A and B are shown apart, each in its own frame.
Chain A
């Protein structure tokens, strides 16, 4: 994953729990990096280690850490660093979600070494949409859920995200029903 992800984890923990906690997470994870560069690719293992260590140090289930990180990613990283780009993604939540597949395809171009997940949408309704999530990575469903909840917050729309199909149950991808 690109350094921007690890950097976001660092920012989230530092801003939420202080620099000491981040040091503890880093120490616990065994990751020996003082500085992450956003457009530099890092091994996925680094991200997983950081998420696991954060769960351990903060004494929270890793699912909650990932979910919180998803929301943080949208509300802080996305909004503050790519705010205009996010806004260009759609004038409302529905439009953004409809554009989500091509949005990620475009990112792939911007980050040539990135192996981004692929999104598809179906059952587009006035109050809901199904988001299909294809990824070679495992265990990031809660992160995706957090992202979708964060998008709701970004557009100031209360949303409910239901994980209707799971890769863990043997399917080839996950499905999230986003209802607003």
Chain B
């Protein structure tokens, strides 16, 4: 085997021996292990002994050689600086000049590892020092536990010794105790050997020797020794044998001795852990107590015999309520009586199957008596075996000992059932009489002979109002009025005393001081045992007496009334004979009472027509019905009178008619007044009708020529006129227009006055109405250079339900007034919502002007009819003074209100508010939205039926202008003739015509000739009733004269079935789509083909507009925004008439410059655009004028 040489790197050496020192010859540390360096204070280069010393073995000197000599020995190195650090290992010379120490720290406790900051990893694995320390630790723990265990064992041993000593002491004490027991005692072990006998035993049964002499003897032997002392020695011996064999404890066996002594004997077998350990015999000498007992028994017997003979229940309880004694009266059955001893009532009740409630009650009383220490008596109700109740009176007497503790309780009871029965009968009898007494409706009272009340019943108490206590003992005398007291004493009491009774009516005074009438019957009740007394029975007859008095008074009262009333009253019999007539009837009839009584009433007064009325009424009354009627009669003086008669039948119990009672009121003056009033009413109605007819006729008569005047005037206006002619024509138009307004106002007023205004209830748009009114009146503003502005809130529903025509009328009136009375400034119209809900809207209309205003005084009369501020106004402005009155009444008819605020020379603000139901789009009449295209009139055959020549010319001229072919008829008859021969597309029918009027003609046409051709009524009668009449007989529509040309044409076109276009109001949105610079169609339409007119208009534009453009540019340069606004305002109407609609909004914006802020740049931009567009149009017009080819222009429009 090849020898292996070892070579270690320092690292490996460190791993195997982490605790080493390598020293050179000078004992300087060359190197040291990594773990050694953790615990040693030395480092490489230090002198080994600078800190260390060799603890074992002892060395003489600290030299290299000395240390080398220690090689092969266990070396323990100590640290000078760390006294508790020892290193255990060995030294070995190394390479001849080095010394190596290899070892490990030697710790006594594991805790030292931590002190030196060492863990298990600082030790080489083979180093067992840590495990040894662990063992040491375990050993220490074990040692500790062992010490603890030993300590515990020592403690237990000490306790054991103490207990042994205690046991011994107890045994000694017990022995002494037993030895000194006065009663004879004998103890045997399990083998019946005597282990103990006391001296009392020896003496009692005559044993001679000292007791300890008998210890260890056989028990049987002792029994033999003493048996001779007992009365029956054999029986005694056998009883001892029997008990020993049975091994059962037996107590209080009585044994008797020959010398007369008596003992009780207890036999106790002793068993420990289930094993027999012997017997204890104990005797007690009871000779004296036996004697006392027999004496006591005799005494007890004596007392019991006494108690048993008492004829009442006698029982005795112990302190726990258990029976000690019961006598035979209490419990008859001797067995049960015996059983009861020692039992309580609960047990007794259970035994007898009785309810426990009696036992509980008795115990409760028992406890109460004990607590109160006083005897108690009570009644007890028991059910006997036959099911009958037995009543007992019971008592309990407690007996306490000297300490105050309950010794016994004696119970005593007597059966009182019989006595109770008698008492019950008496009680019931008394109760019955008491009930009669109490519940009697009659007043019952007893009193003494001197009139003092003894007793009163409830009825008396109730009637008199005093309490029972107040009445009893009081003197009847005191309850009577002063005036009756003497009568009471003299008559009543005297009568009682002498005759033993009294009866009559007595007046007493009740508590409230009212008289009480009592019908009485009183009797004296004699008595042997007590004082005699009086019993009285009375009935309260106060109500009867009062009723009699009242009836009498009532009769007197009504007789007086009837006699003196202003109504006549007559009582008649079944055959109409007068039985009674009062003073009033006598006065009105003229007859005296004697003349009337016994006469037939119908013969006296009624004649001719009246007799039928009277007989009819009498017949109805005879049948039991009350009746009222008016009748004319003649009185005795021959005067004609009107009577209002109210008759009521008198029937007997069987319902037979016995006559009647009639009340007669003279109504002659009222009747006269009624006749006069009726006449006045008829006259007034006639007058009103005449007025209405007059107004209708006047209206018709004025309107008919007016239609011609206005219409012809307009036609004339369309022809070429000289300036003077034009002027005259304007006057005619103006005058006729004013006249029409006056007529309309008068008509409206008369309709309102007559209550004949009917309001429409149709859908309409407030926005459109307002816009339309503004549109209509705009030109008047322009004429006066006024600005008109209107604003309609978006909140207003698009469709409301109401009368658009009347709203229109009111607005025209109010705005018209504003324009009329404003010379400069502006008119503002606003419509807004005041109150809003899903169902309705309250709309506020406001018209504000900057006009002449009104005085405060005039304002208070503004709504009076025919009112104008002064004559100057009338002269200057014209009008009827009815407009405001009409407007107010129309507004109020629509449920609205109107308000006016005005300041003289400042302006006027008029507002009115009306609530309209909210409508839907389909509530709007179709004609409202749309207007037909008039082209349809072209070539249509129209029959014009009109008696007035001028109106025929007017209508015919207008219709011809629209291309229609007109056939004229002067009256209805001629129209029918024409209709027989040919067909027309439409008929225009006047209403009032000679020969055959429009109504008759239409009736005939519809019935005989033509059912479908539209017939439109034309009438100057503006009454709605007329319109309804026309439609009812088959006409299709209604045109009121004088008519507006446009409306007239559109209405006709509509019936001719023209396609409709939205043309009522300008629809700028549509026009925006048209990119054309201008649109002359409107102008051309107005010209009616007059080329000259167009040329003139175009020339005018070319001349005037460049000037306006220049003005605009100058104003813009000067930034004169007011000027810009007014120029725009001026040119806007004419610009629009040339159809330059692209400028409409721009011009509007410039117009509003003085009221709305527009930024400068935007204003300049707008102005530039306007100028540029206007110039372009000028250029275009120049081209047209130069070419003079206007026919293209016309054809393009057509």
Q: Say if the beta carbon of B121 comes within 8 Å of chain A.
A: yes
Q: Which residue of A lies closest to B153 (CB)?
A: A35
Would you give the shortest CB distance from A174 to chain B, in whole angstroms? 25
Do A89 and B120 touch (CB < 8 A)? Answer: yes
Q: Say if the beta carbon of B109 comes within 8 Å of chain A.
A: yes
Counted as pairs of residues, one from A and one from B, with CB atoms less than 8 Å apart, the total is 70
Q: A84-B111, A85-B110, A88-B114 are in contact. Are A95 and B119 (CB under 8 A)?
A: yes
Q: Which residue of B lies closest to A35 (CB)?
A: B149
Do A85 and B142 touch (CB < 8 A)? Answer: no
* One of B119, B138, B141 near A91 (C-beta < 8 A): B119
Do A102 and B120 touch (CB < 8 A)? Answer: yes
Do B121 and A95 touch (CB < 8 A)? Answer: yes
Do B146 and A88 touch (CB < 8 A)? Answer: no
Q: Say if the beta carbon of B502 comes within 8 Å of chain A.
A: no
Q: A106-B134, A110-B131 are in contact. Are A37 and B142 (CB under 8 A)?
A: yes
Q: Say if the beta carbon of B145 comes within 8 Å of chain A.
A: yes
A162 to B133, CA, bound (A): 34
Do B120 and A111 touch (CB < 8 A)? Answer: no
Q: A39-B142, A95-B119, A110-B138 are in contact. Are A84 and B152 (CB under 8 A)?
A: no
Do A85 and B134 touch (CB < 8 A)? Answer: yes
Q: Say if the beta carbon of A38 comes within 8 Å of chain B.
A: yes
Please name all residues of chain A whose beta carbon is closer than 8 Å to the beta carbon of B130 when the two chains form the complex: 85, 88, 106
Q: Which residue of B lies closest to A112 (CB)?
A: B135
Do B137 and A85 touch (CB < 8 A)? Answer: yes
Q: Which residue of B lies closest to A7 (CB)?
A: B145
Q: A84-B114, A107-B134, A110-B131 are in contact. Are A39 and B120 (CB under 8 A)?
A: no
A102 to B123, CA, bound (A): 12
Would you give the shortest CB distance from B272 to chain A, in whole angstroms? 25
Would you give the shortest CB distance from B422 to chain A, in whole angstroms? 77
Query: Interface centre among A35, A88, A103, by most B CB within 10 Å?
Result: A88
Do B119 and A88 touch (CB < 8 A)? Answer: yes
Do A38 and B114 touch (CB < 8 A)? Answer: no
Q: A85-B110, A102-B120 are in contact. Are A35 and B152 (CB under 8 A)?
A: yes
A7 to B146, CA, bound (A): 13
Do B119 and A111 touch (CB < 8 A)? Answer: no
Do A38 and B138 touch (CB < 8 A)? Answer: yes
Would you give the shortest CB distance from B1112 to chain A, in whole angstroms? 91
Number of interface residues of A (CB under 8 A): 26
Q: Say if the beta carbon of A168 comes within 8 Å of chain B.
A: no
Q: Say if the beta carbon of A55 comes within 8 Å of chain B.
A: no
Do A81 and B141 touch (CB < 8 A)? Answer: yes
Q: Say if the beta carbon of B118 comes within 8 Å of chain A.
A: yes
Please name all residues of chain A whose beta carbon is closer than 8 Å to the beta carbon of B133 when the two chains form the complex: 85
A84 to B114, CA, bound (A): 7
Do B141 and A39 touch (CB < 8 A)? Answer: yes
Residues from 85 to 120 in B contacting A, C-beta threshold 8 Å: 109-111, 113-114, 118-120
A37 to B152, CA, bound (A): 13
Q: Which residue of A lies closest to B135 (CB)?
A: A110
Q: Say if the beta carbon of A172 comes within 8 Å of chain B.
A: no
Please name all residues of chain A whose beta carbon is closer than 8 Å to the beta carbon of B382 when the two chains form the complex: none
A85 to B113, CA, bound (A): 8
Please name all residues of chain A whose beta carbon is closer than 8 Å to the beta carbon of B119 when the two chains form the complex: 87-91, 95
Q: Say if the beta carbon of A169 comes within 8 Å of chain B.
A: no
* One of B109, B113, B134 near A110 (C-beta < 8 A): B134
Q: Say if the beta carbon of A82 comes within 8 Å of chain B.
A: yes
Would you give the shortest CB distance from A95 to chain B, in whole angstroms? 7
Would you give the shortest CB distance from B147 to chain A, in whole angstroms? 11
Do B139 and A39 touch (CB < 8 A)? Answer: yes
Q: Say if the beta carbon of A109 comes within 8 Å of chain B.
A: yes
Q: A84-B109, A84-B111, A95-B119 are in contact. Are A38 and B142 (CB under 8 A)?
A: yes
A155 to B118, CA, bound (A): 17
Please name all residues of chain A whose beta carbon is closer than 8 Å to the beta carbon of B111 when the two chains form the complex: 83-84
Q: Say if the beta carbon of B125 comes within 8 Å of chain A.
A: yes
Q: Say if the beta carbon of A99 comes within 8 Å of chain B.
A: yes
Do B139 and A90 touch (CB < 8 A)? Answer: no
Do B113 and A88 touch (CB < 8 A)? Answer: yes
Q: Which residue of B lies closest to A88 (CB)?
A: B113
Interface residues on B, range: 20 to 34
Query: Interface centre among A37, A84, A87, A109, by most B CB within 10 Å?
Result: A84
Q: Which residue of B lies closest to A103 (CB)?
A: B120
Query: Interface centre among A37, A39, A85, A90, by most B CB within 10 Å?
Result: A85
Residues from 91 to 111 in A contacting B, C-beta threshold 8 Å: 91, 95, 99, 102-103, 106-107, 109-111
Would you give the shortest CB distance from B733 to chain A, in whole angstroms? 111
Q: Which residue of A lies closest to B138 (CB)?
A: A39
Do A37 and B134 touch (CB < 8 A)? Answer: no
A108 to B918, CA, bound (A): 106
A99 to B122, CA, bound (A): 12
A111 to B138, CA, bound (A): 9
Would you give the shortest CB distance from A154 to chain B, in whole angstroms? 14
A99 to B145, CA, bound (A): 29
Please name all residues of chain B whose beta carbon is closer than 8 Å to the beta carbon of A40 when the two chains form the complex: 142
Would you give the shortest CB distance from A179 to chain B, in whole angstroms? 23
Please name all residues of chain B whose beta carbon is closer than 8 Å to the beta carbon of A37 when the two chains form the complex: 142, 145-146, 149
Q: A39-B139, A87-B114, A111-B138 are in contact. Are A99 and B109 (CB under 8 A)?
A: no
A154 to B111, CA, bound (A): 17
Query: Interface centre among B109, B114, B141, B152, by most A CB within 10 Å?
Result: B141
A137 to B113, CA, bound (A): 33
Would you give the shortest CB distance from A177 to chain B, in whole angstroms? 24
Do A99 and B131 touch (CB < 8 A)? Answer: no
Would you give the shortest CB distance from B111 to chain A, in whole angstroms? 4
A102 to B130, CA, bound (A): 12
Do A87 and B113 touch (CB < 8 A)? Answer: yes
Q: A35-B149, A81-B141 are in contact. Are A106 and B131 (CB under 8 A)?
A: yes
Query: Interface centre among B113, B137, B138, B149, by most A CB within 10 Å?
Result: B138
Would you give the shortest CB distance from B132 to chain A, in whole angstroms? 9
Please name all residues of chain B whose beta carbon is closer than 8 Å to the beta carbon of A87 when the two chains form the complex: 113-114, 119
Do B120 and A99 touch (CB < 8 A)? Answer: yes
A99 to B120, CA, bound (A): 8
Q: Which residue of B lies closest to A36 (CB)?
A: B145
Would you give the shortest CB distance from A136 to chain B, in whole angstroms? 22
Please name all residues of chain A whose beta carbon is closer than 8 Å to the beta carbon of B149 when the two chains form the complex: 35, 37
Please name all residues of chain B whose beta carbon is closer than 8 Å to the beta carbon of A38 when the two chains form the complex: 138, 141-142, 145
Please name all residues of chain B whose beta carbon is closer than 8 Å to the beta carbon of A84 when the two chains form the complex: 109-111, 113-114, 137
Please name all residues of chain A whose beta carbon is closer than 8 Å to the beta carbon of B138 when the two chains form the complex: 38-39, 110-111
A88 to B109, CA, bound (A): 12
Please name all residues of chain A whose beta carbon is closer than 8 Å to the beta carbon of B125 when the two chains form the complex: 102
Would you give the shortest CB distance from A155 to chain B, in whole angstroms? 13
Do A109 and B152 touch (CB < 8 A)? Answer: no
A7 to B149, CA, bound (A): 13
Do B120 and A90 touch (CB < 8 A)? Answer: yes
Q: Which residue of A lies closest to B117 (CB)?
A: A91
Q: A85-B134, A88-B113 are in contact. Are A99 and B142 (CB under 8 A)?
A: no
A88 to B115, CA, bound (A): 11
Do A109 and B139 touch (CB < 8 A)? Answer: no
Interface string of B345-373 (1 = CB under 8 A from A): 00000000000000000000000000000
A38 to B137, CA, bound (A): 11
Please name all residues of chain A whose beta carbon is closer than 8 Å to the beta carbon of B137 when the two chains form the complex: 81-82, 84-85
A91 to B110, CA, bound (A): 15
Q: A110-B131, A110-B134 are in contact. Are A88 and B118 (CB under 8 A)?
A: yes
- A contact set with B: CB distance below 8 Å: 4, 7, 35, 37-40, 81-85, 87-91, 95, 99, 102-103, 106-107, 109-111
Known: A85-B137, A95-B119. 5 other contacts (CB 8 A): A38-B138, A82-B110, A84-B114, A84-B137, A111-B138
Question: Can you list the 7 inter-chain pairs with the closest CB atoms, starting with the nearest?
Answer: A84-B110, A84-B111, A88-B113, A39-B142, A110-B134, A106-B131, A110-B135
For this complex, 24 residue pairs linking A to B, each with C-beta atoms less than 8 Å apart, are: A35-B145, A35-B149, A38-B141, A39-B141, A81-B141, A82-B134, A82-B137, A83-B111, A84-B111, A84-B137, A85-B134, A87-B113, A88-B118, A88-B120, A90-B119, A90-B121, A95-B121, A99-B120, A99-B121, A106-B134, A109-B131, A109-B135, A110-B131, A111-B138
